[in-house]
Structure formats: C-alpha cells, structure tokens
Structure 1
Amino acid sequence: MVRWRILVGTAVAVLTAAAMGATASPASAAPTGNGDAVVPTTNVVGGTRATQGEFPFMVRLSMGCGGALYSSTIVLTAAHCVGSTGTNTSITATLGVVDLNSTSKITRKSNYVYRAPGYNGSGKDWALIRLASPVTGLATLPLNTSSTYDTGNFTIAGWGAATEGGSQQRYLLKATVPFVSDATCNSSSMYNGEIIASNEICAGFTAGGVDTCQGDSGGPMFRTGASGLVQVGIVSWGDGCARPNKPGVYTQVSYFASTIAAAATSLGG
C-alpha cells in the first residue's frame, strides 16, 4: 500500500528524519471557477502538460518533492519531505520552468528548514524552506485564509509519477479535481475515519483516474479566490494513486495559514 507521495529511493534519509512522513504532489490541473462540474481527464496521474509560465510559483525540490513559492526566499512544502527544523544547505530548488531539463531553469540552495511544530507523521504536514538567495521575477502563491475557498474545484500540478509506481516526469503536469467532503472521505468506502477533519482536505473523483502521486508531495493544490489564485492544500498522502474511492489527501492550508505566515515572517520571508 503506497501512502506517502514522495519518490521512493530519492529521499530515504528524509523519510527517516521526518518520522517516515511523505507528501504527494499535485499531478496537474488548470485553474477553475467556484463550483462547476468537473469531468475527469484521462490521467494525472494522467494530467496534461502545463504551459511555460502558467504556474510560475511551482517549485521542484531535489529530495523528490514539490513546493510553492510563498515569497522570494520561502518555499512552502510538506513536513514529511524534510528533516527537523534547523540549518539545512542540502536542498536544491528548481523554479521558473515546466521542463526540468530546460537551460532557463532557476536554481537556489536552501539554508534553513522549518518543520511544523509537533509534526509526528499524522497531520500538521507543512514545512518552510528558506532559500539562500531571493528569486526575482516569479509570482508567489498566497495562502488561502478563508474556508469559503475550501470547496469547489481545485488545480493540482507537479512533476511526480504519472502512474502509480512510476518515475518522476520531466514536464510539469496539471489537472482539475473536485472537493470531497470530510464526511464522505472518512466514510467506510473511502478512508474509514483516517482523515483528520480539522486540518486535512480531500479532493478527487469517486471513479479515480485523476490524482497526485509519488513525487508530488509538498506541492500545492490551488483555486481562484477573491483576488486570484490561492493555495488551498499541500499534497500529503493517499492510498496508491488515482484509485477508485481513494481521493488525494491534502494539508488544509486555511487551518494553518496564520501559523505558516508567522513562521515565514520569523525566517525573514
């Protein structure tokens, strides 16, 4: 049973340090409006390719996770993707491109990691990575601070596997997934009470077919808010990828927004 959405083999040390936690990254999706019906795409785990510049805040992390640019020096990702809070110069962030092999890519090294206080592998799956130097010219992704935007249709995007058990992708993929209520996600036909309703959010199709997957952990799930795109979720975990009745499970950003913002401020971001 594959639960965490980090690439196996690329982050063994991280998994150990992070109490075996790992996040799934969004596979891909285009921004949508509030509540239109969503028709599953053939994949994402089968999404479609994002275009250059479509999601400028997307970040690929060298340990096999995704992330979102919160500020010019801060990347928001999943707690299960990193080790404990403290100095860390081992992570490379790749930004500014959809093609990871592009010669136009921007790279930055980390200099500090802040993992959610009290993280133990269950809930609280968020972390901040401070970059050694600022990134300029790329849009950031604001946090969702309102439960109003915790429903509807969401966009997922990432460089993770396009099939369960597959390898990471060269090109950024995107897809659209609908909100799944806590009651439905916690039902016996889905996760049978495993969802932490207060701070996790589910999204996906009952029939499966569209989902984030291994290598997508830490990446953002987002949608249109009052003034543009806002980050609603952080790819965290799920049973396999795109299985029927097993939607993706994401850290609910609105629940942690004020805490994340305060932590980012303390890091100078």
Structure 2
Amino acid sequence: MNKFVRALKRCAVVGAVVLAAVSLQPSSASAAAPPVVGGTRAAQGEFPFMVRLSMGCGGSLLTQQIVLTAAHCVGASGNNTSITATAGVVDLRSSSAIKVRSTKVLRAPGYNGDGKDWALIKLAQPINLPTLKIAETTAYNNGTFTVAGWGAAREGGAQQRYLLKAQVPFVSDASCRQSYPSLIAGEEICAGFPQGGVDTCQGDSGGPMFRRDNAGAWIQVGIVSWGQGCARPDYPGVYTEVSTFASAIKSAAATL
C-alpha cells in the first residue's frame, strides 16, 4: 500500500495521521442497546510516562528529556522549537500540567510513509517523571496490551480533555494481513478485537502500546501508527514494532 493510501487510514489532523482509546456509538437502529465502550478514563499518575504533543499526537518519555513518538507526527530531522510537550496530568487543562518546548527532532532514517514509523523529540529541559522502557526483543509481542491517549472517543470525534485507556489483544501477522495486505511484518505489529469496539483513533498517533514485563514493570511494545477507521470489526490497529527498532532508537537518542 502506498503512503498516500496509508495516510487516509486514520484521518489527517494538522498534516499528520493522528490516532484514542475509543468507543463505538450505537447506530439509531440499536440506540436502545448499551454502547460498546472502548476506553475508560485513566487515573492521575497511572501512566506517568504519557506525553501529549501540541501537533495533536501522543508520545512517551523514553528518557526524562526525550519523547518517543511516530515519524508521521513530525517533520524532518533537525532543530525544532515548535512543539510543546505536556506531561504529568490526565487532564490537559490542569494547572499542574508540565509544559516543555522541543529543541530537536530526529525522524527515523529512511522513513517514507511506509514502516519505520518512529521519531524522537528532545526537550528543552528534563521532565522529572518516570520513563517507559522499550522492548528490545520480541518476547513481549504477545498477550494483552494497554493503549492510552487523548484522541477521539469515536471515529471522527473530537479529541479528549482527559486521558483515556483501553486494552487490546495481540493479532498475529497472518491474521492482520487478511485486513491489511500491505502490513510490513517485522516492522509493524497489530492489536484489536475481531468484533472491533476498542482501538486507537484520531489523536493517538505516536502514543505507546505497552504491557507488563516479567518483573511487572511497564514496557513499550508498539507505537500507534495507522489503521482503517477506528475500532471497526476486522480492522485492528497497526503499531510500529518497537523491538525491531530498539537498537536504532537507543543509538539515535544518544546522539541527541
């Protein structure tokens, strides 16, 4: 699939594909039935590594001064002071929010819209919050993942004031390819329910998909990348497979 078609998958906002833990609203024909809720509000401090970026994307604290996000959320590598990172709160309007400007962007070398969807943003000063370690092997590319973000609560909806969270199960490459023949195995990982109802959506791009490691700590397995609509049946979310790029990400961070 070419990058133009991929860009249409999850609605462009401010020139980037931006993806939210979502709910599917009932149609008028089924309005009497309870809605399928894809996301619930996260508690303050539950995911202290979550970052909201001013261009309408999410991210995670790789270090206290470097945010890991999606390549499609940022422009070319180089000096960049146009991005504001908000952290430390679930309510974006909270007076306790920590806001720090960017100084540099490093987009994945060779990124052209297909795969390699990761980027780093260096902040003007460290944010004194816990960081999220990244998976360096495929050992955690299975099970149930957590996704979180301030994106839309339904396909085509407005982005959210409060951080939402949801859980999604791993989908094998073979199953995911039935929905997305262009899936890049080894660079992308899928997650979602066959019946839909839970997914990332507009405004969540760049945010982490994570789970517990063997020691019970959070570890990032994916980066919200793209998908067909939001929470549609048989169309799981597609995430950058972090373990594939872990070495490159760590090396790039060291250069910042």
TM-score (norm 1): 0.85
Instruction: Quote the residue 1:251 is aligned against.
Output: 240
Greater RCO, CA 8 A, separation 6+:
1
Instruction: Quote the residue 2:143 is aligned against.
Output: 152
Instruction: Quote the residue 2:41 is aligned against.
Output: 49
- Residue 70 of structure 1 aligns to a residue whose secondary structure is strand
Instruction: Quote the residue 1:217 is aligned against.
Output: 205
Q: Any conservation in 2 of the 1:43–1:209 contact (CA below 8 Å)?
A: yes
Q: 2:11 and 2:88 mapped to 1: Cα distance?
A: 21
- Per-residue deviation at 1:226? 2.5
Distance 1:6 1:261, change over 3 A: farther
Q: 1:59 and 1:7 mapped to 2: Cα distance?
A: 20
1:127-146 map, 5 Å = 127-136=119-128, 138-146=129-137
Write the letter of the residue equivalent to 1:160.
Answer: G
- Per-residue deviation at 1:5? 4.2
- Residue 196 of structure 1 aligns to a residue whose secondary structure is coil
Q: Any conservation in 2 of the 1:58–1:66 contact (CA below 8 Å)?
A: yes
- Per-residue deviation at 1:27? 1.7
Q: 1:5 and 1:69 mapped to 2: Cα distance?
A: 24
- Residue 236 of structure 1 aligns to a residue whose secondary structure is strand
Q: Any conservation in 2 of the 1:76–1:127 contact (CA below 8 Å)?
A: yes
Gaps of 5+ in 2: 23-34
Aligned length: 238
Q: Any conservation in 1 of the 2:12–2:18 contact (CA below 8 Å)?
A: no
Q: 1:7 and 1:121 mapped to 2: Cα distance?
A: 13
Seq. identity, %: 64
- Per-residue deviation at 1:23? 4.6
Q: 2:70 and 2:37 mapped to 1: Cα distance?
A: 24
Instruction: Quote the residue 2:165 is aligned against.
Output: 174
Q: 1:261 and 1:23 mapped to 2: Cα distance?
A: 24
Post-superposition CA distance 1:64-96 (Å, at most 9, x none): 000001101000000000000000000000000
- Residue 134 of structure 2 aligns to a residue whose secondary structure is coil
- Per-residue deviation at 1:194? 1.3
Q: Any conservation in 2 of the 1:23–1:78 contact (CA below 8 Å)?
A: no
1:68-217 map, 5 Å = 68-136=60-128, 138-187=129-178, 190-191=179-180, 193-217=181-205
Q: 1:4 and 1:94 mapped to 2: Cα distance?
A: 26
Q: Any conservation in 2 of the 1:6–1:65 contact (CA below 8 Å)?
A: no
- Per-residue deviation at 1:3? 4.0
Instruction: Quote the residue 1:27 is aligned against.
Output: 21
Post-superposition CA distance 1:157-205 (Å, at most 9, x none): 0000000001100000000000000000002xx12x1110111000000
Q: 1:179 and 1:132 mapped to 2: Cα distance?
A: 36
Gaps of 5+ in 1: 16-21, 29-40
Q: Any conservation in 1 of the 2:10–2:228 contact (CA below 8 Å)?
A: no
- Residue 94 of structure 2 aligns to a residue whose secondary structure is coil
1:264 aligns with 2:238: no
- RMSD over aligned Cα, in angstroms? 1.5
1:63 aligns with 2:65: no
Q: 2:18 and 2:159 mapped to 1: Cα distance?
A: 14
